Structure 1
Amino acid sequence: MKLFTLRKGTHKIQNPRKKKGKSLFRKINDWLHLWLGLISGIVVFVVSITGCLYAFEREIRNVTEPYQYVSPQDQPFLLPSQIEPLARKYKYHSDTATVSLYGVQFGDPGQAAVVAYNDPKQGFTMIYMNPYSGKILKEKVLSKDFFRIVLSGHYYLFLPPKIGQPLVAWSILVFVVLMITGLIMWWPKKWNKTNRDKSFKVRWKANFKRLNYDLHNVLGFYVLLIGLILALTGLVWGFEWFESSAYFVTSGGQRYEKYTVPGSDTTLLASAKVGEPGARSPQDRIYLRLMKEYHGSKGVMDEGNIQITYPSTAKEPITVYYNPSGDTYYKRDIRFFDQYSLQELVGGGIYKRSYQESGFADKLSRMNYDIHVGAIAGLTGKIIAFFASLVCASLPVTGFYIWWGRRKKKHKKSIRLKIAGEAEGIES
């Protein structure tokens, strides 16, 4: 039933069923989404864009870095003790030069050996060598490497780590809240056809303002689940309390054990015996032992890599990183050996046991990096992670434009009302 009231010679139609405004919960939710988005937008954009650039890092390197590969030969690799002096001589023109050598890595028969060391001037540096002849193929300074620079932006916003890391971590935590508040804003009040079309379809032929809104609203919904996975796996590195809490939940209440490195027994220094036929250093002996353990009499890897470190102090152990896969990291073994007795030591954390022997929570923790970059699902997973990161990078941009457009609209409306009021005052 419509009611009519007469006002100065005109009639006004009043509807007794007034449209309800937003609830207090929705007002708070929308307010949080707006201001948290404005605060964290730049950081989320940088982190997401650098994530896109890093998504296919391995595939791009495989094409652009031919020095990673050598022609396979039917002969064994040089031993670490043979590789090490060649790397020293290349860099310092002397095989006895003092340098902080980190370690040496061997891959499959078609991969170059890599010697890593810390240069006082250049920082972390890698020398690629032919594992059969010892020929130097390439020296790469990581501070000048494109993907290393991209990673610095992803982790630290190109700022000093003490400043950039907390800023990134808190912004990603805010982004998680934004995705939740955004879902609440996206949720249709009625699930009729019109609202479904608005919520699930982008109107590509609409005007720019409408298209921008759809790109924010619709694409934001489609990327929600993947975006949450990327953000939550990133928070594992951002906050220790988040890492511990995630482990507590996935393990059914167990306490997270931090990664710890055991120490070598320095009392054995004086009596250490490192000489042995066929091996001239502790690294040689460990390398030959583990290659036989992992690959039997064959002694050559078909895939993956093994890295052996050089202790920088008398207390440090020799650490071995063995990864049976060249595409992921979660099956990697990290083992420690006393640098004097070569006895295997036990460290702490999720790598205390092999992947096969680990429980569900430990396996999930080990998968964190591969999940974060999409490698856990192969190339398909990386493609999904790439496009999800790209959409996440667009959300602060499209969201800012929505806010700016509404702000300008309110400003224009207030000017019109002011002019109308002034005109009414003149007429009266």
Structure 2
Amino acid sequence: MATKKRGKSVFRSINDWLHLWLGLTSGIIVVIVSVTGCIYAFQHELSDLTQPYQHVKAEAKPYLLPSELKAIAAKEAFGPQGDTGTNRITGVSYRTAERSAIAAFMDKENGYTTIYLNPYNGDVLKTKILKRDFFRIILEGHFNLWLPRKIGQPVVATGILIFVILLITGLIMWWPKKWNKANRKKSFSIKWSAGKKRVNYDLHNVLGFYSLALALVLGLTGLVWGFQWFSKSYYWALTGGKTLPKFEKPVSDTTLTRPALQLTPEDRLYASIRKEHPVITGSIQFQFAYLPKDPYTVIYNPDPGTYYRRQFRYFDQSTLQEMKGGGLYGRTFEQASTGEKVYRMNYDIHVGAIAGLPGKILAFFVSLICASLPITGFYVWWGRKKKKSLKKPELKPQKKIAARVAASF
């Protein structure tokens, strides 16, 4: 007795429908975000190769003080009048012995601008408008598709959320009905000797499977910046139900008077911090206090290639007493819980830097595969659609009989 051939289940039909139409609607977003992510993964390495002002010759003498670098940068940025309080240098960053120092300010026309200085003699090496920097342009595309942030960032976040769903629905579509030898070979290998359509299908199907786990990591870590609800939920899950602390900057006590000493407050603070860190292995950034309630901010990062070990510290501008602030980053990485450590690693996991150069290379290739999936998936859909349109409509039984009779004459 012949058995009736079973079709797709309702669940599988809905899953396939979602995979198709969600993929078509989000494809261009995924391609742009993935390609820009490929490029940005090597931002540090490419900057070192193409930007000579990042480097200086290490000298056996101390760096210039923050007030000295600020004065030089202010003259470069604002002319002879220097830092007036209205036009002001916002901070100075010191890096390792063979790297330049960086001063920053907000330009009325060009926005955030950096000045690279020789930390030993104050020579100006480069003034860079950040919005014109190649990697800033790439990052703007990655984060908001070069649209205004209020529009582009939610669009990107939604596209990545859809991409995460696509990875799950794609795995369901990939899963073989039977784990026999033929299906295993079809699911895990690309048949390069086949036609273009089959190779394209295999590229979509097989590469999608092999990159699935890491693609999910990239997508989920990216969503931490995309949605506040996801960021808080992610932290809650990692820490066993804790609430994500707010990143707050404390307020200086305006009732206290500043002692009259020869060194400026930022220079005294610099001397104190350098006693704690006599050798800079990563970077130390000093953000100046201009408004009466502003504290001085010190951001210490012991590692030059990652960010998860950064610590934000705040000091009263009158007494230089340390104050609490900085949320999750207000203490050292070693003092954080396991869940907090994973959360702090989010950026470095996202770009692969957590595993050094091999991790970045891996993130590059996974991002490249992610960029290819919407393209190969589109051609799978287009090929099937074209095949259906070329297929002749089936004749009704009466017309079939008439056709046979006509053919017999």
TM-score normalised over the length of structure 2: 0.95
**Equivalent position amino acid for 1:390 in 2:** L
Contact 1:86–1:95 (CA<8 Å) still a contact in 2? no
Summarize the alignment of residues 252-271 of structure 1 with structure 2, pairs less than 5 Å apart. 252-268=240-256, 271=257
Q: Report the equivalent of 2:279.
A: 300
Task: Give the whole-Å Cα distance in 1 for the aligned partners of 2:310 and 2:397.
Answer: 72
Q: Give the deviation of 1:275 after TM superposition.
A: 2.3
- Assess, with a 3 A threshold, how the Cα gap between structure 1 residues 274 and 33 changes in structure 2: closer, same or farther: farther
- Assess, with a 3 A threshold, how the Cα gap between structure 1 residues 421 and 155 changes in structure 2: closer, same or farther: farther
Q: Give the deviation of 1:274 after TM superposition.
A: 5.5
**Equivalent position amino acid for 1:328 in 2:** T
Task: Give the whole-Å Cα distance in 2 for the aligned partners of 1:94 and 1:352.
Answer: 38
Q: State the secondary structure of the residue aligned to 2:116.
A: strand
Could you list the structure 1 runs, at least 4 aligned residues long, displaced by more than 4 angstroms after superposition: 418-428
Q: Report the equivalent of 2:29.
A: 43
Task: Give the whole-Å Cα distance in 1 for the aligned partners of 2:163 and 2:350.
Answer: 16
Q: Which moved more, 1:179-188 or 1:352-361?
A: 352-361
Q: State the secondary structure of the residue aligned to 2:327.
A: coil
Q: Report the equivalent of 1:32.
A: 18
Q: Which segments of 5 or more consecutive residues in structure 2 lack a partner in the other structure?
A: none
Q: 2:312 aligns with which of 334, 337, 351?
A: 334
Task: Give the whole-Å Cα distance in 1 for the aligned partners of 2:216 and 2:129.
Answer: 34
Q: Report the equivalent of 2:143.
A: 155
Q: Which moved more, 1:415-424 or 1:164-173?
A: 415-424
TM-score normalised over the length of structure 1: 0.91
Task: Give the whole-Å Cα distance in 1 for the aligned partners of 2:130 and 2:398.
Answer: 66
Task: Give the whole-Å Cα distance in 1 for the aligned partners of 2:268 and 2:324.
Answer: 19
Q: Report the equivalent of 2:153.
A: 165
Task: Give the whole-Å Cα distance in 1 for the aligned partners of 2:108 and 2:126.
Answer: 19
Summarize the alignment of residues 22-421 of structure 1 with structure 2, pairs less than 5 Å apart. 22-98=8-84, 99-268=87-256, 271-273=257-259, 275-276=261-262, 279=263, 281-294=264-277, 299-301=278-280, 303-413=281-391, 415-417=392-394
Deviations 1:250-273 (A, max 9, x none): 1111121121111111222xx222
Q: Report the equivalent of 1:12.
A: none
Q: Give the deviation of 1:90 after TM superposition.
A: 1.6
**Equivalent position amino acid for 2:283 in 1:** N
Contact 2:306–2:348 (CA<8 Å) still a contact in 1? yes
Q: State the secondary structure of the residue aligned to 2:329.
A: coil
Deviations 1:369-388 (A, max 9, x none): 00000000011100010000
Q: State the secondary structure of the residue aligned to 1:258.
A: coil
**Equivalent position amino acid for 1:234 in 2:** G
- Assess, with a 3 A threshold, how the Cα gap between structure 1 residues 348 and 110 changes in structure 2: closer, same or farther: closer
Q: Give the deviation of 1:17 after TM superposition.
A: 2.1
Aligned residues: 403
Deviations 1:188-228 (A, max 9, x none): 11111111111110112221100100000000000000000
Contact 1:259–1:347 (CA<8 Å) still a contact in 2? yes
Provide the alpha-carbon RMSD of the alignment. Answer: 1.7
Q: Which segments of 5 or more consecutive residues in structure 1 lack a partner in the other structure?
A: 2-15
